[in-house]
């Protein structure tokens, strides 16, 4: 059975504009970005499916055309911040998570698989 | 089918070209090479570079190993002394016997020594082989005065060498003028004047009668006119003679003036024997240049295929810089064609002389002579080679250009068949083909076609052709940095500097669009650092930093980091070594000596970096900037403090420059090295900046590169004192930082620079652009504002906050996986990880948060 909930991650002012941070939520590594010009938060899986390491949060943010993207720090593929889709190689798509700011706090929605 | 045995005698430039062409033609042949010199073929054309520090290996065109790899059986140092045509075998001096089906004579030529009594005395030398140059250098050490006998091309080249070796230099020429083969008397005179102005004494119309031991000097030359000249060494460069004795003994036909006679097929009168290169005579003529030899080699190879191509003679036009004087000679330079018309232009003040020979109908160029200004050479040569009809007033071709008198030939006017690079026979058509096939830079075209990789004389014409072609096909080199900025890196640098812009955001708002990206952000971050030198982890710059800079470490394949403290000049105390060992042990870091004379500790997690660096900084280490496009390392050899050959304190100088330039961010990384003597143990000639000690100071080499496309550094200036050395490096690095492209190493920067090395020298040494002081003060600013990025970071809790894997947990990455190998750990491979998972499905990771201190 799956239950969906907003989970507290950190204070908004712990994030630094135009960079990312990684949160551990329910055993999942989630990269959270604060894109400054659009003033939006985005959350994606922190695992780089090409480089096979937990590094997405350390990528550079930017735009390609209209698409807001993060570039993997390992081999520089771009992933859409909105959809998680890899621009260079359609076979890769990062999991995305709903994320919000509320009362100066950052919250994330994660589908918890209640196991055991 | 039985393989034909092809035997090549002589492994000079042409013999080698033959072997390469033949072996890549994939014919059923067995190739054997017998070279009379002890070393495989080398670049004789650039022989003089030997004196500029090039080693025999640098001049090598091939190696024994390479020949071995391509299946060529090669023997060196044992010349052939006899050819037995009836049994089809050759015999060497050492008694080896080789059979052949086809024999190729590529024995080249040797310097002619006039039959003057005394010409064999010690101190009398020639200028033809690497060994010759080695002897000249050795002899020059104990000499003050040097004479070159012979005022032709090679003689003047030899004179230049003697002058650079620091000798008082004289040129003695039998004929009434210099370079009588290429220049008319007006050109010869102008050349003499220019060379004399450079301090070389020219004696024309002088015949040497005897050479005797000197009184105060080693030798004395007595001339037929009764005069004498005291000297310590004499280099004979009075023409070449083909090595044709083998052919004479074997009763092959030899031309009247020497040289083995060949036909259009490069065949001698024995149909199994070919002759190519400088030993061959075609139509009674010997070609003393390498390009015609290459054409012969290609023609001779083609005879073994079903598509034979004839050798049709070759053009002997040449363009050279002799003793710093530009000299060009095209076609019938002496105007011997009956009925020809000559135009002469002479400017005594600027010391320029030009002469143009045209056909009697005024329509075609037959020849030209240029002294002091060769800028028209390329155009004139193309008019000549391609028989392009002249404009109404041919004289305009050599008159100084007035505004808008576009008399000269643009590259676009050339037919596709025009040969652009005669060394490698590359036509304009071939260059267009390379562009069609996807080349999009000059460099691409060079590597695809080999154009301009021989004598280099075609470089500017090649560039014109490539530029015009690219422009024509709208390929106009788009220098815009990325979709967010419509400016090149250099333009952006100027904008940042002149408008004193301090942040990316401001630049984007005022001069860009969109949000920026992983191309423009790091470049601009780097330029801001080069200009204003603020800490790269300042909040306003943080989002700009690339993978490595943003955590001040190099990211490894598993997302962990490496730690590389600076070890200036590679000098390290035992205490510091021990600290490195202890830190590595305590944090369980994989440890390796780098190729840059320092020590790399791998596998640190984000949260461990501050504790590791705290210990290192406390022990007196600084960051090594291994993560930055920045000044990296200064490699040194031990130098005069210990080494018995060292002539300067190379370690001291290395530490001085490393300390001066540490941390400076640049378009790409910058590496330096300092060697204590010419043995060059620090490999300075492979660095962006190479410094090599001399008896009198330092020689400066610039724009070398290791890596994927190695480039030997160019000699930039010699015998500098410490301060001048630093000043030149200051200027050079700053000029590079200002003008290079993104991720462009200094080697590529120089190669793409209009005017090349000479221009760079003009800017840095002569301060042609008047930038010198500005560059120096910009560098001084960077030196003054240096901070160890790690030290500052450790002092700032805000900056330190980011050094953790999770923003909400105090643990490291929970999914790292290692295996032990040779006593240390390394990241598990994908296969090993899978195996680990299967054997222990609940395993999360093996990471224990090691070594907190
Ligand atoms: C550690 C080291 C190899 C070693 O175990 O010895 C090394 C490791 C790396 N080299 Fe290197 N290079 C190392 C010496 C060299 C050398 C030798 C030297 O400096 O004398 C060269 C050739 C010399 C040269 O640069 O001209 C060298 C030519 C390269 C290149 C090719 C550059 C080129 O112009 O072709 C790259 C790729 C690049 O920079 O784009 C590169 C890139 C790298 C990177 C940064 C790749 C990366 O992005 O992760 C490696 C990461 C370093 C790390 O994690 O700490 N490394 N690399 C050496 C560190 C030296 C140091 O103390 O800082
Ligand atoms: C200082 C200098 C500068 C030059 N500059 C230029 C230039 O700018 N442009 C240009 O086009 N040309 C230049 N040249 C000329 C160019 O080097 C020659 O045209 C070219 O090297 C000829 O090549 P080759 O193979 O015919 O002869 P070589 O290069 O002389 O090679 C012949 C080889 O055969 C060997 N050999 C001879 N006899 C025997 C034997 N019996 N058995 C075995 N081996 C034997 C010799 O030892 C030699 O190694 C220059 C030459 C010199 C010396
Ligand atoms: S380069 Fe010269 S001075 Fe330096 S270590 Fe080698 S031999 Fe000694
Ligand atoms: S003409 Fe010599 S390299 Fe092109």
Give the least confident one: B276-280, B724-728, B798-802: B798-802
pLDDT at position B54, please?
81
The tokens of B329 are what?
């000679």
The tokens of B120 are what?
């064999």
Give the mean model confidence (pLDDT) for residues A2-14: 83
**3-state DSSP call for residue B633?**
strand
Please report the ipTM that was assigned to this predicted complex: 0.70
Interchain contact A12–B (C-beta under 8 A)? no
Contact A60 B517 (CB under 8 A): yes
Taking the C-alpha atoms of residue A64 and residue A87, their distance in angstroms, rounded to an integer, is 9
Domain spans, chain B: 4-110+242-302, 124-238, 316-409, 413-477, 489-542, 550-618, 631-783
- The CATH number of B413-477, from 3.40.190.10, 3.30.300.30, 1.10.3720.10, 1.10.10.1100, is 1.10.10.1100
Give the mean model confidence (pLDDT) for residues B804-825: 92
Neighboring chain A residues of B813 at a CB cutoff of 8 Å: 29, 54
pLDDT at position B382, please?
85
Ligand 3 atom 2: the closest Cα is on which residue? B677
pLDDT band at B143 (very low <50, low <70, confident <90, very high): very high
Q: Which residues contact B138 (CB under 8 A, 6 or more apart)?
A: none
| CATH 3.50.50.60 fits domain B4-110+242-302 | yes
Place of tokens 């014409």: B461
Has residue B196 got a pLDDT over 50? Answer: yes
Give the mean model confidence (pLDDT) for residues B824-846: 73
**3-state DSSP call for residue B137?**
helix
pLDDT at position B410, please?
63
Interchain contact A49–B (C-beta under 8 A)? no
| Measured CA distances, B293 to A96, B105, B276, B405 (Å) | 67, 12, 6, 39
Give the mean model confidence (pLDDT) for residues B640-654: 96
Has residue B851 got a pLDDT over 50? Answer: no
The percentage of residues in chain B with a pLDDT greater than 70, rounded to a whole number, is: 96
Taking the C-alpha atoms of residue B605 and residue B608, their distance in angstroms, rounded to an integer, is 5
Give the mean model confidence (pLDDT) for residues B55-68: 91
- The CATH number of B316-409, from 3.10.28.10, 3.30.390.30, 1.10.10.1150, 3.90.228.20, is 3.30.390.30
Give the mean model confidence (pLDDT) for residues A97-112: 89
- In our burial notation (b when 16+ CB lie closer than 10 A, e otherwise), range B315-338 reads bbbbbbebbebbbbbbbebbbeee
A111 phi, psi to nearest 5 deg: -80, 115
Give the mean model confidence (pLDDT) for residues B89-116: 95
Give the least confident one: A112-116, B251-255, B315-319, B590-594: A112-116
A57 phi, psi to nearest 5 deg: -60, -20
Has residue B89 got a pLDDT over 80? Answer: yes
The secondary structure element, H or E, covering residue B307 is none
The tokens of B524 are what?
């601009």
pLDDT band at B408 (very low <50, low <70, confident <90, very high): low
**Region B124-238: CATH code:** 3.50.50.60
Ligand 3 center–CA B732 separation, angstroms = 26
pLDDT at position B477, please?
61
pLDDT band at B42 (very low <50, low <70, confident <90, very high): very high
Has residue B88 got a pLDDT over 70? Answer: yes
Mutate to test the interface with B, among A62, A76, A99 (most CBs of B within 10 A): A62
Say how many C-beta atoms besides its own lie within 10 A of residue B121's C-beta. 13
Contact B544 A9 (CB under 8 A): no
Q: Which residues contact B453 (CB under 8 A, 6 or more apart)?
A: B423, B424, B446
Please write the tens of the pLDDT for every residue from B475-493. Answer: 666 678 888 998 989 899 9
Contact B159, B327 (CB under 8 A): no
Has residue B447 got a pLDDT over 60? Answer: yes
Give the mean model confidence (pLDDT) for residues B330-348: 86
pLDDT at position B409, please?
58
- In our burial notation (b when 16+ CB lie closer than 10 A, e otherwise), range B789-804 reads bbbebbeeeebeebbb
pLDDT band at B648 (very low <50, low <70, confident <90, very high): very high
pLDDT at position B639, please?
95
Q: Which residues contact B329 (CB under 8 A, 6 or more apart)?
A: B179, B182, B183, B187, B317, B318, B319, B367, B368, B369, B370
pLDDT band at B183 (very low <50, low <70, confident <90, very high): confident
Interchain contact B820–A (C-beta under 8 A)? no
| CATH 3.20.20.100 fits domain B631-783 | no
The tokens of A13 are what?
């002012």
Torsion of CA B660, B661, B664, B667, to 10 degrees: 160
Round the average pLDDT of chain B to a whole number and report it. 90
pLDDT band at B784 (very low <50, low <70, confident <90, very high): very high
The CA-to-CA distance between both ends of chain A, in Å, stands at 11
Taking the C-alpha atoms of residue B674 and residue B697, their distance in angstroms, rounded to an integer, is 12
Contact B559 A54 (CB under 8 A): yes
Neighboring chain A residues of B830 at a CB cutoff of 8 Å: 52
B102-105 and B273-275 strand pairing: parallel
Please report the DSSP string for B741-791 in residue order.
PTT--HHHHHHTSTTHHHHHHHHHTS-TTS-HHHHHHHHHHHHHT---HHH
A53-54 and B168-172 strand pairing: unpaired
- Quick one: chain B helix, strand, coil %, rounded to 5? 35, 20, 45
pLDDT at position A3, please?
55
Q: Which residues contact B750 (CB under 8 A, 6 or more apart)?
A: B702, B703, B714, B756, B757, B760
pLDDT at position B398, please?
80
With 0-12 / 13-18 / 19 or more C-beta atoms within 10 angstroms meaning exposed / middle / buried, residue B394 is buried
Residue of A nearest to B809 (CA): A24
Taking the C-alpha atoms of residue B806 and residue A10, their distance in angstroms, rounded to an integer, is 10
Select from B594, B663, B671 the residue to mutate for testing ligand 1; criterion: most ligand atoms less than 8 Å from CB.
B594
Q: Which spans in B437-559 are helix H?
A: 442-449, 459-472, 489-498, 504-511, 520-532, 539-542
Round the average pLDDT of chain A to a whole number and report it. 90
pLDDT band at B603 (very low <50, low <70, confident <90, very high): very high
pLDDT band at B416 (very low <50, low <70, confident <90, very high): confident
Q: What angle do CA B444, B448, B451 make, to 5 degrees?
A: 95
Taking the C-alpha atoms of residue A60 and residue B241, their distance in angstroms, rounded to an integer, is 67
Give the least confident one: A23-32, A64-73, B176-185, B512-521: B176-185
Q: Which residues share a beta bridge with B328? A: B319, B370
Taking the C-alpha atoms of residue B327 and residue B320, their distance in angstroms, rounded to an integer, is 5
The reply to whether domains B4-110+242-302 and B124-238 share a CATH topology is yes
Has residue B414 got a pLDDT over 80? Answer: no
**Cα-to-chain-centroid distance, residue B841:** 57
Give the least confident one: B252-261, B422-431, B514-523, B545-554: B422-431
**3-state DSSP call for residue B112?**
coil
Has residue B848 got a pLDDT over 70? Answer: no
The tokens of B523 are what?
């470049």
What DSSP character marks residue B296?
H
pLDDT at position A100, please?
94
Contact B812, B847 (CB under 8 A): yes
pLDDT band at A4 (very low <50, low <70, confident <90, very high): low
Has residue A115 got a pLDDT over 80? Answer: no
Contact A69, A83 (CB under 8 A): no
- Of the candidates A24, A51, A62, which has its C-beta nearest B809's C-beta? A24
pLDDT band at B404 (very low <50, low <70, confident <90, very high): very low
Contact A58, A73 (CB under 8 A): yes
Contact B282, B318 (CB under 8 A): no
**3-state DSSP call for residue B328?**
strand
Place of tokens 């550094």: B713
Taking the C-alpha atoms of residue B307 and residue B303, their distance in angstroms, rounded to an integer, is 7
Q: Which residues contact B156 (CB under 8 A, 6 or more apart)?
A: B148, B171, B178, B179, B195, B322, B323
Which stretches of B199-247 are assigned E, i.e. beta strand?
201-203, 208-213, 219-223, 228-231, 233-236, 240-242
| CATH 3.90.480.10 fits domain B550-618 | yes
Has residue B112 got a pLDDT over 70? Answer: yes
Interchain contact B803–A (C-beta under 8 A)? no
Q: B460 or B780, which is more confident?
A: B780
Give the least confident one: A89-93, B451-455, B464-468, B486-490: B451-455
- Domains annotated on chain A, with CATH: 2-113 (2.102.10.10)
pLDDT at position B845, please?
43
């Amino acid at each position: 059975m799956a239950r969906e909930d907003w989970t507290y991650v950190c204070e908004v002012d712990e994030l630094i504009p135009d960079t990312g941070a990684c949160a551990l939520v329910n055993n999942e590594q989630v990269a959270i970005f604060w894109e400054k010009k659009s003033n939006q938060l985005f959350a994606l899986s922190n695992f780089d499916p090409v480089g096979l390491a937990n590094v997405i949060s350390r990528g550079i943010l930017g735009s390609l055309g209209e698409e807001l993207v993060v570039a993997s720090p390992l081999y520089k593929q771009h992933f859409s911040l909105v959809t998680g889709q890899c621009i260079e190689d359609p076979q890769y798509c990062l999991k995305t998570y709903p994320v919000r700011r509320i009362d100066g706090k950052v919250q994330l929605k994660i589908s918890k698989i209640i196991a055991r | 089918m039985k393989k034909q045995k092809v035997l090549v005698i002589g492994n000079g430039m042409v013999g080698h070209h033959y072997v390469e062409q033949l072996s890549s033609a994939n014919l059923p042949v067995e190739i054997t090479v017998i070279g009379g010199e002890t070393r495989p073929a080398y670049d004789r054309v650039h022989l003089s570079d030997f004196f500029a520090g090039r080693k025999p290996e640098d001049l090598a065109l091939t190696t024994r190993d390479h020949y071995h790899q391509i299946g060529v059986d090669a023997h060196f140092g044992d010349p052939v002394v006899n050819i037995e045509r009836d049994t089809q075998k050759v015999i060497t001096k050492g008694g080896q016997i080789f059979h052949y089906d086809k024999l190729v004579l590529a024995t080249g030529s040797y310097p002619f020594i006039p039959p003057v009594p005394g010409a064999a005395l010690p101190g009398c030398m020639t200028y033809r082989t690497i060994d010759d140059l080695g002897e000249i250098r050795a002899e020059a050490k104990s000499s003050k005065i040097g004479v070159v006998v012979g005022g032709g091309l090679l003689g003047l080249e030899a004179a230049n060498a003697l002058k650079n070796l620091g000798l008082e230099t004289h040129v003695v020429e039998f004929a009434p003028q210099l370079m009588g083969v290429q220049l008319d008397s007006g050109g010869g005179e102008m050349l003499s004047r220019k060379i004399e102005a450079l301090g070389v004494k020219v004696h024309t119309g002088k015949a040497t009668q005897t050479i005797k031991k000197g009184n105060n000097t080693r030798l004395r030359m007595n001339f037929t006119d009764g005069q004498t000249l005291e000297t310590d060494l004499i280099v004979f460069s009075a023409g070449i003679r083909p090595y044709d004795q083998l052919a004479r003994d074997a009763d092959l036909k030899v031309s009247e003036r020497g040289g083995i006679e060949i036909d259009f097929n490069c065949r001698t009168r024995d149909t199994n024997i070919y002759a190519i290169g400088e030993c061959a005579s075609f139509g009674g003529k010997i070609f003393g240049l390498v390009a015609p030899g290459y054409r012969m080699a290609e023609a001779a190879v083609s005879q073994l295929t079903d598509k034979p191509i004839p050798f049709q003679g070759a053009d002997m036009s040449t363009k050279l810089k002799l003793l710093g004087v530009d000299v060009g000679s095209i076609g019938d330079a002496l105007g011997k064609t009956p009925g020809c018309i000559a135009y002469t232009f002479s400017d005594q003040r600027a010391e320029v002389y030009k002469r143009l020979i045209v056909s009697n109908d005024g329509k075609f160029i037959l020849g030209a002579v240029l002294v002091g200004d060769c800028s028209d050479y390329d155009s004139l040569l193309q008019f000549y080679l391609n028989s392009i009809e002249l404009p109404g007033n041919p004289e305009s071709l050599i008159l100084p250009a007035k505004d808008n008198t576009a008399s000269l030939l643009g590259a676009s006017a050339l037919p596709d068949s025009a040969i652009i690079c005669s060394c490698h026979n590359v036509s304009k058509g071939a260059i267009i083909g390379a562009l069609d096939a996807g080349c999009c830079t000059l460099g691409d075209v060079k590597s695809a076609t080999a154009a301009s990789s021989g004598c280099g004389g075609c470089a500017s014409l090649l560039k014109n052709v490539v530029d015009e072609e690219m422009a024509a096909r709208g390929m106009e080199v788009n220098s815009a940095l990325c979709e967010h900025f419509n400016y090149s890196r250099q333009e952006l640098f100027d904008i940042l500097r002149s408008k004193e812009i301090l942040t990316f955001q401001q630049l984007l708002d005022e001069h860009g669009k969109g949000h920026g990206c992983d191309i423009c952000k790091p470049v601009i971050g780097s330029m801001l650092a080069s200009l204003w030198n603020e800490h790269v982890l300042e909040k306003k710059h943080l989002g700009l930093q690339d993978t490595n800079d943003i955590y001040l470490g190099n990211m490894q394949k598993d997302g962990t980091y490496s730690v590389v403290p600076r070890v200036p000049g590679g000098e390290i105390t035992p205490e510091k070594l021990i600290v490195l060992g202890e830190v590595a042990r305590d944090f369980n870091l994989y440890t390796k000596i780098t190729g840059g004379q320092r020590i790399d500790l791998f596998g640190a997690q984000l949260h461990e970096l501050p504790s590791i660096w705290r210990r290192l900084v406390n022990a007196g280490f600084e960051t090594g900037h291994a993560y930055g496009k920045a000044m990296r390392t200064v490699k040194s050899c031990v130098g005069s403090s210990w080494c018995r050959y060292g002539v300067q304190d190379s370690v001291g100088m290395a530490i001085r420059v490393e300390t001066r330039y540490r941390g400076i961010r640049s378009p790409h990384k910058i590496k330096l090295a300092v060697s204590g003597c010419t043995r060059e143990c620090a490999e300075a000639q492979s660095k962006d900046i190479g410094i090599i000690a001399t008896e009198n100071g330092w020689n400066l080499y610039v724009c070398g590169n290791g890596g994927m496309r190695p480039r030997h550094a160019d000699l930039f200036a010699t015998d500098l004192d410490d301060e001048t050395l630093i000043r030149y490096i200051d200027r050079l690095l700053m000029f590079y930082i200002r003008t290079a492209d993104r991720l462009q190493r200094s080697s590529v920067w120089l190669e793409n620079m209009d005017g090349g090395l000479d221009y760079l020298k003009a800017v840095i040494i002569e301060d042609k652009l008047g930038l010198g002081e500005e560059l120096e003060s910009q560098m001084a600013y960077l030196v003054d504002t240096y901070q160890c990025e790690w030290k500052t970071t450790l002092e700032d809790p805000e900056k330190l906050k980011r050094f953790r894997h999770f923003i909400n947990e105090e643990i490291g990455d929970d999914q790292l996986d290692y295996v032990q190998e040779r006593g240390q750990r390394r990241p598990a491979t994908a296969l090993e990880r899978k195996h680990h998972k299967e054997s222990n499905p609940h395993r999360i990771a093996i990471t224990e948060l090691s070594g907190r201190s």
